[in-house]
Amino acid sequence: MSSPLALNETAQLISYLHLLSSHRVLLLESDEGFIEMIQNALHAKPFVLTTAKSGPEALNRVMKQREFDLILCDMATRHSPGLAFYQAISRIRSHLCERFIFMKGHHGDPEVDAFVRKVNGLVLWKPFEGHVLLETIGLALRKQGKNLLSPLASV
């Protein structure tokens, strides 16, 4: 029979291995319904999702965790625009800029459209379905030389 200490160590190892085999995703989104849809789409997939409802909260998460494999960024959150969040990240963790997927709810904002073209960003147009989210995430990971199934595997 295993001791409680051995079981605890095993649980910690399993948790650590899960983190190693998972993609860390930061979601900047203020709409509860959309957060829930994305959580459902990424559930039981190789993702660890961290959510933030404002730019300052997302910035705090980046400062604490430091690394994310992907950043899903709503360009029009209630508390701060995604453009300002991206610019802040470019100053403090510029290597994360290539990991953004921008989410937009409407066409026609010339400033945002020009920005996305300038940074050669990936865009998800709201509303979108879970399979479209996963396809876009797969594309973003391939751009980084990673595989959707495992962050440790290369393509």
- Partners of residue 98 on adjacent β-strands: none
Q: How confident is the model at residue 66 (pLDDT cuts 50, 70, 90)?
A: confident
In a domain, 99, yes or no: yes
In a domain, 153, yes or no: no
pLDDT at residue number 109:
75
pLDDT in tens, 14-60: 444 444 468 899 999 999 999 999 999 998 778 999 999 999 999 99
pLDDT at residue number 155:
36
Please tell me the total count of domains within the chain.
1
In a domain, 76, yes or no: yes
Range of the domain at 137: 22-143
Long-range CB pairs of 77-84 (<8 Å, 24+ gap) are: 77/28, 77/29, 77/30, 77/53, 78/30, 78/53, 78/54, 79/30, 79/53, 79/54, 79/55, 80/54, 80/55, 80/56, 81/55, 82/28, 82/55, 83/111, 83/112, 83/115, 84/55
In a domain, 136, yes or no: yes
For the domain that residue 123 is a member of, what is the CATH number?
Answer: 3.40.50.2300
Average pLDDT, the chain: 82
d(CA 102, CA 11): 36
Q: What is the pTM of this model?
A: 0.80
pLDDT at residue number 21:
60
Using DSSP bridges, classify how beta strands 47-52 and 23-28 pair: parallel, antiparallel or unpaired. parallel
In a domain, 14, yes or no: no
In a domain, 83, yes or no: yes
Q: How confident is the model at residue 76 (pLDDT cuts 50, 70, 90)?
A: confident
